[in-house]
Amino acid sequence: MSGMAGWLSPEEWQAVALSLRVSLWATMAALPLAVWVAYLLARREFPGKQLLNSAVHLPLILPPVVTGYLLLMMFGTKGPVGGALQQIGIVFAFRWTGAALAAAIMAFPLMVRAIRLSFEAVDPKLEQAAATLGASKPWVFATVTLPMILPGLIAGTVLGFAKAMGEFGATITFVSSIPGQTQTLPSAIYTFLQVPGGEAAALRLTLVSIAVALTALLLSELLARRAAARLGGR
Amino acid sequence: MLTVSLQHALPEFALDVQFEAPPGVTVLFGRSGTGKTTVIQAVAGLLRPERGRVALNGELLFDTGQRHWLPPHKRRMGYVFQEGRLFPHLTVRQNLLFGQWFAPRGAKLESLGRVVEMLGIGPLLQRRPGALSGGEKQRVAIGRALLSAPRMILADEPLSALDEARKAEILPYFERLRDETGIPVLYVSHSAAEVARLATTVVVLQDGKVQRQGTAAEVLGDSAVMPTGVRAAGALLEARVARHHDDGLTELNAGGVPLFLPQIAQAPGSPVRVRIAAHEVILSRLRPEGLSALNILPGCVEHIRTGGGPGAMVALQTPAGRVLARVTRRSAQALALEPGAECYAVVKTVSIAPEDIGGAGPGARDLQK
């Protein structure tokens, strides 16, 4: 790590570290909610299901700038939600937490889609079998459903993480690009490209970006393959 | 004792059944699509019937009248499904022990070692279900149900997905389950051979109604009850192994009459049940001589049932028990068969199929005392 810190300037390193922190928090916070929403969409019938489905997918089809602007209106210090949260000391606007919120919302639909597909692949007959063996609903979920959706869960998480690492439009619109606060890797690359002589720094961050994405992809392939092999039975 | 009363609308007909399952194996017998699976799923709590009441040993599992519904995980019914339904992400050992995590404290648990030994699945413990054959999967499924400290075993056509050789491999394990554990079993089947081998009590379902209920010998020997068609008709004889002969035959003593079968494994003295397929029985008014068939049972005609077809079902009372014989109406006429007529039932030894011979276990009569 020290070698990498030396290779990157402190400012560049700051952007990388911030991006990792923002993306990790965004994925981890979004994951339980994504599992729940994916479960609802895959397994339950309820009024407003289509509405929920559309709302989840909205960030995927809206221009990211629009999503960012909507976030600013909702969660800005003068926004209805942001104002209320400020009273209890939670601030999103122009903070790294805001960058994490924007990244989470942009990554959310991708995570839900991957996890929903794996929920749909689980045979409910196995869950019935678990119930006849004495497992209550939460236990059936923990001991049968969850292990069986694991490959999809891993794929969704990595996809979400990669999306969060690369999120630019909504982030820069919502929380701007303040070095050390909200300047994530993509915003740093963009900023370096705006100043003369910044190409070298931009190139270094681009390489870091590629390396992080590839590592995440390989890791998820490995984990998903291992999980799938277990399910395959040998 | 399981008491069942159910009403539920199915696409083809309305299910409306009442029956009781005493200790031992109760087989719900009928052709496909008569509502057998609906009944067993309602007992397990996997299907909510429109109206009904099910109680096990006096404890209510559900009663729609009282709006009482015990969820499946609280019923403790060990369910053996048609397709095994083993958990693919767990090893055989973990599958077997799955139910024990959830068994209530103080429940009487079967020991893993005993169940593994009984089912012969020791070498499979470290494998995963994906690497098992159909017969192995079904044995593990039986073990998994047994080890969950069930108050009753529910088996929904557990052999129907298997070929004949695998069926013959699994049936003895259900016999052992019946004879060695004492856990009551509700078993769904459309096979007369399975009824003959396993049933203590038979409940015959037809188009959603209980057509007949009684012991296996009573129901299979009743010429009016042929839920799976006349071709599958055949009465059940209860006998004891007399001795094994050197030429590959086993001699039974069936109510004083010798009965020769292709060799079976049971030791001399053990009780066995033999199903004699009705279409394999030849009738003769005189004691036949110079005949290759080894089994000749003297008897007396009880009644003759004819339908629209060319066949007649003749019920004979013999010292070995009731025998059903399917002959043509023409033969019945030619032999002047009528109730009270004396005649002989002839059964070729080799026509008695191995799947129709089973260990009798505790007889229905012993259990109902």
pLDDT reported for residue B351:
85
B46 interfacial to chain A (CB closer than 8 Å): yes
Nearest Cβ partner for A134 among B46, B129, B148: B148
B76 interfacial to chain A (CB closer than 8 Å): yes
The CA distance from B238 to B87, in Å, is 40
pLDDT reported for residue B111:
85
Q: Please tell me whether residues B49 and B139 are part of one structural domain.
A: yes
Residues of chain A with C-beta less than 8 angstroms from the C-beta of B144: 133
Domain that holds residue B115: 2-214
Tell whether B113 is covered by a domain.
yes
Question: Is the confidence at residue B368, as pLDDT, over 60?
Answer: no
B246-263 tens-digit pLDDT: 998 999 998 888 999 898
Q: Please tell me whether residues B118 and B149 are part of one structural domain.
A: yes
Return the SS3 of B14: strand
The CA distance from B204 to B100, in Å, is 34
The answer to which of A2-11, A221-230, B126-135 has the lowest mean pLDDT is: A2-11
pLDDT reported for residue B185:
93
Tell if the CB–CB gap between B144 and A133 is shorter than 8 Å.
Answer: yes
Q: Which residue has the tokens 């012993």?
A: B366
B33-83 tens-digit pLDDT: 888 999 999 999 999 999 999 999 989 999 999 999 999 999 999 999 998
For range A41-45, the mean pLDDT: 93
Number of continuous H segments (helices) and E segments (strands) in chain B: 10, 21
A4: amino acid identity, one letter: M
pLDDT reported for residue B110:
81
Tell if the CB–CB gap between B89 and A148 is shorter than 8 Å.
Answer: yes
Tell whether B119 is covered by a domain.
yes
Q: Please tell me whether residues B207 and B138 are part of one structural domain.
A: yes
Q: What is the CATH number of the domain that holds B42?
A: 3.40.50.300
For range B213-217, the mean pLDDT: 86
Residues of chain B with C-beta less than 8 angstroms from the C-beta of A135: 73, 98, 101-102
Q: Please tell me whether residues B7 and B105 are part of one structural domain.
A: yes
Q: Do residues B158 and B170 touch, judged by C-beta distance below 8 A?
A: yes
Question: How many domains does one find in chain B?
Answer: 2
The CA distance from A223 to A219, in Å, is 6
For range A1-24, the mean pLDDT: 82
Tell the burial category of B174 from Cβ atoms under 10 Å away from its Cβ (0-12, 13-18, 19+).
buried
Q: Please tell me whether residues B302 and B337 are part of one structural domain.
A: yes
Residue, of B234 and A204, whose pLDDT is higher? A204
pLDDT reported for residue A52:
95
Q: Please tell me whether residues B182 and B257 are part of one structural domain.
A: no
The CA distance from B42 to A38, in Å, is 29
Nearest Cβ partner for A233 among B44, B45, B130: B130
Tell whether B43 is covered by a domain.
yes
pLDDT reported for residue A101:
94
Q: Select the residue from A118, A126, A132 to test the B interface by mutation, using most B Cβ atoms within 10 A.
A: A132
Q: Do residues A94 and A178 touch, judged by C-beta distance below 8 A?
A: yes
Q: Please tell me whether residues B148 and B56 are part of one structural domain.
A: yes
Look at residues B214, B243, B276 and tell me which one is the last residue of a structural domain. Answer: B214
Residues of chain A with C-beta less than 8 angstroms from the C-beta of B89: 144, 147-148, 230-231
Of A65, A39, A61, the C-alpha closest to A118 is A39
A126-171 tens-digit pLDDT: 999 999 999 999 999 999 999 999 989 998 999 999 999 999 999 9
Q: Select the residue from A133, A143, A145 to test the B interface by mutation, using most B Cβ atoms within 10 A.
A: A133
Question: Is the confidence at residue A99, as pLDDT, over 70?
Answer: yes
The CA distance from B284 to B346, in Å, is 8
pLDDT reported for residue A234:
47
Nearest Cβ partner for A125 among B85, B101, B148: B85
Tell if the CB–CB gap between A132 and B89 is shorter than 8 Å.
Answer: no
The answer to which of A200-209, B88-97, B355-364 has the lowest mean pLDDT is: B355-364
Tell if the CB–CB gap between A130 and B87 is shorter than 8 Å.
Answer: yes
B153-211 tens-digit pLDDT: 999 999 888 888 788 878 888 888 888 888 899 999 998 888 888 899 999 998 889 98
Q: Please tell me whether residues B192 and B74 are part of one structural domain.
A: yes
Tell whether B185 is covered by a domain.
yes
Residues of chain A with C-beta less than 8 angstroms from the C-beta of B103: 134
Q: At A233, is the pLDDT very low, low, confident or very high (cuts 50, 70, 90)?
A: low
Tell if the CB–CB gap between A128 and B102 is shorter than 8 Å.
Answer: no
Q: Please tell me whether residues B86 and B188 are part of one structural domain.
A: yes
Tell if the CB–CB gap between B75 and A132 is shorter than 8 Å.
Answer: yes
- pTM of structure: 0.80
Tell whether B200 is covered by a domain.
yes
Tell whether B229 is covered by a domain.
no
Nearest Cβ partner for B102 among A129, A139, A147: A139
Q: Please tell me whether residues B244 and B209 are part of one structural domain.
A: no
Mean pLDDT of chain B: 87
For range A194-214, the mean pLDDT: 91
B45 interfacial to chain A (CB closer than 8 Å): yes
* Paired strand residues for B296: B346
Q: Please tell me whether residues B35 and B112 are part of one structural domain.
A: yes
Per DSSP, the residues of B84-139 read ----TTS-HHHHHHHHHHHSPTT--PPPHHHHHHHHT-GGGTTS-GGGS-HHHHHH
For range B89-115, the mean pLDDT: 88
Tell if the CB–CB gap between B89 and A147 is shorter than 8 Å.
Answer: yes
pLDDT reported for residue B141:
94
A131 interfacial to chain B (CB closer than 8 Å): yes
Tell whether B121 is covered by a domain.
yes
Q: What is the CATH number of the domain that holds B255?
A: 2.40.50.100
The CA distance from B345 to B287, in Å, is 9
Residues of chain B with C-beta less than 8 angstroms from the C-beta of A232: 88, 130
Q: How far is A171 from chain B (nearest CA, A)?
A: 40
Look at residues B158, B186, B214 and tell me which one is the last residue of a structural domain. Answer: B214
Tell if the CB–CB gap between B130 and A234 is shorter than 8 Å.
Answer: yes
Tell me what percent of the residues of chain A surpass a pLDDT of 70: 96
Residues 6+ apart with CB under 8 A from A148: A118, A121, A122, A126, A231, B88, B89
Tell whether B364 is covered by a domain.
no
Return the SS3 of B41: helix
Tell me what percent of the residues of chain B surpass a pLDDT of 90: 43
Look at residues B214, B247, B278 and tell me which one is the last residue of a structural domain. Answer: B214
Question: Is the confidence at residue B364, as pLDDT, over 80?
Answer: no
Six-digit token string for A37: 């929403």
For the stretch A177-205, what's the b/e string if a residue is b when 16 or more beta carbons lie within 10 angstroms of its beta carbon?
Answer: beeeebbbbbbbbbbbeeeeebeebbebb
pLDDT reported for residue A29:
95
Q: Please tell me whether residues B18 and B64 are part of one structural domain.
A: yes
Residue of chain A nearest B85, judged by CA positions: A126
ipTM of model over 0.95:
no
Q: At A4, is the pLDDT very low, low, confident or very high (cuts 50, 70, 90)?
A: low
